[in-house]
Chains A and B, each alone.
Chain A
Amino acid sequence: MRTHRGTILAACAVGLLVTSGPAMADQDEMPSIDGVKIVTRVAPPEGHPLTEIISGFEFRTKETQDLELDDFTNPGFLMVEQGEEAWSTVEGSAEKSCESCHGDAAESMKGVRAAMPKWSEAAGKPQTLEQHINSCRTERMGADAWKWESDQMLGMTAYVGLQSRGMPVGVDLKQGDMQSWWEKGKEFYYTRVGQLDMACANCHENNYGNYIRADKLSQGNSNGFPTYRLKWQKMGSLHRRFKGCMDNIRADAYKRGSDEFIALETYLAWRGQGLSVETPSVRN
Chain B
Amino acid sequence: MKVFRRSMVAGCALLLGMSAAVAQDIVAYEVVDGTIPKSLTGTPGDPVAGREVMVDRRLGNCVACHTAGVFSDQQWHGEVGPPLDGVADRWDEASLRMIIVNAKAVYDGTIMPAFYRNDGFNRVAPKFAGKTIMSAQQVEDVVAYLMTLKD
Contacts and interface: CB of A to CB of B under 8 A. Distances in A.
B65 interface: yes
B76 A214 contact: yes
A192 B80 contact: no
B123 interface: yes
Given A196-B113, A197-B114, A198-B113, A210 B125 contact: no
Contact of B122 (A192, A206, A211, A247): A192
Interface stretch (A2-10, A62-70, A98-106): A2-10
Interface size for chain B: under 10, 10 to 19, 20 to 34, or 35 or more residues? 20 to 34
A253 to B, nearest CB: 8
Given A3-B79, A5-B79, A207-B80, A194 B111 contact: no
Contact of A251 (B76, B77, B124): B124
Interface residues of A, number: 27
Main secondary structure of the interface of B (DSSP, over half): loop
B83 interface: yes
A148 B1 CA distance: 53
Nearest to B82: A3
Centre residue among B57, B64, B124 by max chain A CB count within 10 A = B124
A251 B78 CA distance: 21
Contacts of A2: 77, 79
Contacts of B133: 195-196
A252 interface: yes
Contacts of B65: 212-213
Given A3-B82, A212-B78, A197 B61 contact: no
B83 to A, nearest CB: 6
4 shortest interchain CB distances as A-B pairs: A213-B64, A210-B79, A195-B128, A202-B111
